[in-house]
Amino acid sequence: MQLLALRAQFPALEQTLAGYPLCYLDTAATSQKPQAVLDAMASFYRDDNANVHRAAHQLSARATANYEQVRDKVQAFINAAKRQEIIFTHGTTEAINMVAWGLTEQIDHTSTILIDSAAHHANIVPWQQLAKRTGAKIIAIPLDANGRIDQPAYQALLSNGASIVAMNHVSNVMGTVNPVKEMIAQAKAAGAITLVDGAQAIAHMPVNVNTLGCDFYVFSGHKMYGPTGVGILYGQFEQLDKLSPLLTGGEMIDTVSFEMTTFNTLPNRLEAGTPAIADVIGLGAAIDFIAALPQAATKKREAELLKYLQQQLQQLGQVTLYGAHQDNLGAVAFNLADEHHQDVGILLDQQGVAIRCGHHCAMPLMQSLGIKGCCRASIGIYTSVEDIDRFVEALASVKAMLFD
């Protein structure tokens, strides 16, 4: 598919900001949505609006069939062994919380939880809460001078014993890719349960959970061209089946009396209440959209575009890049000299350029880098060379304005 034809499927990209055509470089925060996703959600509300699993009428039957079909799509998309291993959540954050809460009875004061130092807050705070409940110890896996996980340090930590290892697949700030397959194997050999935050990976690379061998893999729909409000918790069946439910009531029950309640089987046992049905339908449309793209060509083009973005920023001068490597995916973190990142972002916005500025929900990473925050430009399948050129030209004007 030609880039112009691809971009035309994303209506939000057609708008102007402050008189400038929108240059959207904040896909790592949330991706824009293709018309197919918008249409799928509108079609559900227009034609099939009913609750799933519960009613005998035709609307509910259609809604249930379409909803459960998405579970099959996700299973195939990440190559899970069983459809029951796919749990619908409201996003990556809820998925991690479900696992951290669900493991409470399996963790105690003798347990150690290892966490990637570049982790998003959503992959830190739930484990801290688990540690508070159980007395477990949390240890951050350090980064090396290049912003990657320090592998010898990681192996040394494992040798001292670990119960859980939580890591990024791809850093949401820098776009660095962790060697998760090898790290998972090492953690499993040490007897640890593994959870991988795949929120930043899922739209940029094929994910095969069977090959990775992780116990849990989590991601969000809105970072892969789908809607907000829906995410996926994948877990190996045996691991999911041992989790204590975070939410109870509604669809997750089998029987209820005032004396006792018994829970349903997977996946229902971990899906309490009315789900985000339209959002799940939209996620299914996003998976179809991604699957229809030429995968190898799309991945190659994104890699070339990110490399071009890195090079153009370096050539601009007085720009510091953080954790920039040839194999990064999706995002570039940077600062313009000693200028405050928020000032840079505001001045770019005045020229129609949308980037993200701040600590990116990764304060421990900022501390590791020795900064309070940074700018981040991130790309998607709709990003063009012209977008990069417009961004760098706008940044050059910001530089001239601030330094003159």
Closest CA to 225 of 168, 172, 178, 291: 291
Helices (H), 18-149: 35-43, 58-78, 92-102, 125-134
What is the amino acid identity at position 147? G
332 Cβ contact list (under 8 Å, min separation 6): 174, 175, 306, 309, 310, 313, 321, 324, 376, 377, 378
What distance in Å separates the CA atoms of residue 144 and residue 368, rounded to the nearest whole number? 10
Select which of 214, 357, 361, 374 is catalytic: 361
Query: Checking DSSP bridges between strand 193-197 and strand 216-220, what pairing results, if any?
Result: parallel
How many distinct helices (H) and strands (E) make up the chain?
14, 17
Tell me the angle at which helices 180-189 and 151-159 cross, rounded to the nearest 10 degrees: 20
What distance in Å separates the CA atoms of residue 353 and residue 19, rounded to the nearest whole number? 11
What distance in Å separates the CA atoms of residue 335 and residue 98, rounded to the nearest whole number? 35
Closest CA to 266 of 298, 299, 304, 237: 237
The dihedrals phi and psi of 184, each to the nearest 5 degrees, come to: -65, -45
C-alpha distances out from residue 38 to 23, 80, 279, Å: 21, 27, 10
User: Is position 374 annotated as part of the catalytic site?
Assistant: no
232 Cβ contact list (under 8 Å, min separation 6): 74, 78, 86, 87, 88, 89, 95, 218, 219, 220, 221
Closest CA to 355 of 335, 370, 372: 335
Active site residues per annotation: 361
